[in-house]
Structure 1
């Protein structure tokens, strides 16, 4: 069989250039299609080559929401960030967005709750303040399930409905500022045990958590970025 060095020389001479040509051709066709759209939603996620603060490289991949087509890939060496691994994903995102907004009408980005990148998308003072940020609903659900343990969680649409959870679990389905969205409960459902004061106090702390309430509007579009995360795992 061929030696390792020979194998990589064959890749360099024949394979890599062919893959690059195929990628550029397919990407050009995808971008041409997306330029015809008024609004494009993209999913973004970064993958480090190693965990913690010792990462050398970060690859940031961006997919289009509807088709799940890859629209951009960028890899950055931490030498480009003065060997600072902490900001390497932020650097990848900036390079990605600076390129994409020149090519397609990006109006929304779906991602995890990366604080440095969230600051870039701040609607008042962010570098990309005209682009709406949606947080990945899978991460939110996982975090809430960890907090709520075995409790059931009703899907949210607005902040008022979220606050209404605290009343519903006490068998209070209408109040001065709103009401539950479900149909009237039948007589049999009234016999089930409702939440007790101690458990209700713990639930209240979760529902009214300031950090969660400050971000809940970013989950209203119910976006899911799991596809790009799964891509990085393979």
Structure 2
């Protein structure tokens, strides 16, 4: 007889009336232990029932039904994951309380690409310890449209942390307008910085788009330099004004002009460039030079450079989100509790 992954053999001797029953595995509260272990292995490795079912079927190995899998998943595995996360979260919050004020990094990961996301998981990380301190899962129909999920996740997370007594000194996020407005109007006591990685990624994409045109294809030679210069401007500046002065100097530098009309950064810090170290300079008044300068010196972007984070960034948070994709891929749908657990 089989029951899930359990094989049970009954023996009976017709001569001596001897009977015996053998089971391939122990039974815990009327549940075969192998069933629990298989269900746990599927969830904890980021797999899915359909994948493991196809594998067992191809190898002609006895498995368990889909109904049985999701029953154990809902009643046993998800509560276990939630309980373990709460214990871990309590430890991280306790560590934050002992350390005084904290700097947090926040960002949201959607469950599908584009603007059709159903769920958005907003992750808050303590950037000093690089430990996740809170995760809020928001469903799009709770806030009307998917674009509002990021702000809602941030609001819920900050509310919970403040209720637990965490003193948030600063927060590093992307340049989401809803998040900016909320922190500017509702949380004036929290210093808000923009993440250099997000800003570098954004300006890099715009340079790539500009390089696709024939008249401005030469700007592709400056893409890496532009992104690196943004990181350098943030990490070596003691104020937002200094970061802006260093950032705007790149418009002159790419034209082989290394003196600037700014007292905070009057000239480039590199040595005189000899011929073998010279760059493919952009010629003034050309389409490539003018369009790239307009892009780099766009008033809104320059204004945001003033708030770029000089020390902290969210690269660890991005790495966590890339790991999360292994457990909740964007091509697979999950229920709310299943999504939160993964």
Q: Tell me the TM-score normalised to structure 1 length.
A: 0.84
The Cα shift of 1:34 comes to 0.6
Q: 1:203 aligns with which of 285, 289, 292?
A: 292
Distance 1:144 1:79 in 2: 32
Unmatched segments (≥5 aa) in structure 1: none
Aligned twin of 2:104:
42
- How far does the alpha carbon of each residue in 1:131-180 deviate from its partner, in whole angstroms, 9 at most, with x for none? 12222212211222232532022221321222322333444433554422
- Taking the TM superposition and a 5 Å limit, the aligned residue runs for 1:76-115 are 76-81=138-143, 83-103=144-164, 104-115=166-177
Distance 1:24 1:166 in 2: 50
Aligned twin of 1:165:
250
Aligned-partner SS, 1:59: strand
> Does 2:185 correspond to 1:131?
no
Structure with max Cα Rg: 2
Q: Name the Cα RMSD after superposition.
A: 2.6
- How far does the alpha carbon of each residue in 1:1-28 deviate from its partner, in whole angstroms, 9 at most, with x for none? 2211212222333322222222111111
CA, structure 1 residues 181+13, in 2 after alignment: closer, same or farther (shift >3 Å)?
A: same
The Cα shift of 1:29 comes to 1.2
1 or 2 for the larger relative contact order (CA 8 Å, sep ≥6)?
A: 1
Q: Does the Cα contact within 8 Å between 1:57 and 1:75 map onto a contact in 2?
A: yes
CA, structure 1 residues 100+149, in 2 after alignment: closer, same or farther (shift >3 Å)?
A: farther
Q: 1:15 aligns with which of 71, 77, 84?
A: 77
- How far does the alpha carbon of each residue in 1:44-64 deviate from its partner, in whole angstroms, 9 at most, with x for none? 122233344543322211111
The Cα shift of 1:32 comes to 0.8
Bigger drift between 149-158 and 171-180 goes to: 171-180
The Cα shift of 1:121 comes to 1.6
Bigger drift between 17-26 and 173-182 goes to: 173-182
Distance 2:83 2:199 in 1: 39
The Cα shift of 1:94 comes to 0.9
Count how many residue pairs are aligned between Structure 1 and Structure 2: 230
Aligned-partner SS, 1:149: helix
Distance 1:193 1:80 in 2: 52
Q: Tell me the TM-score normalised to structure 2 length.
A: 0.60
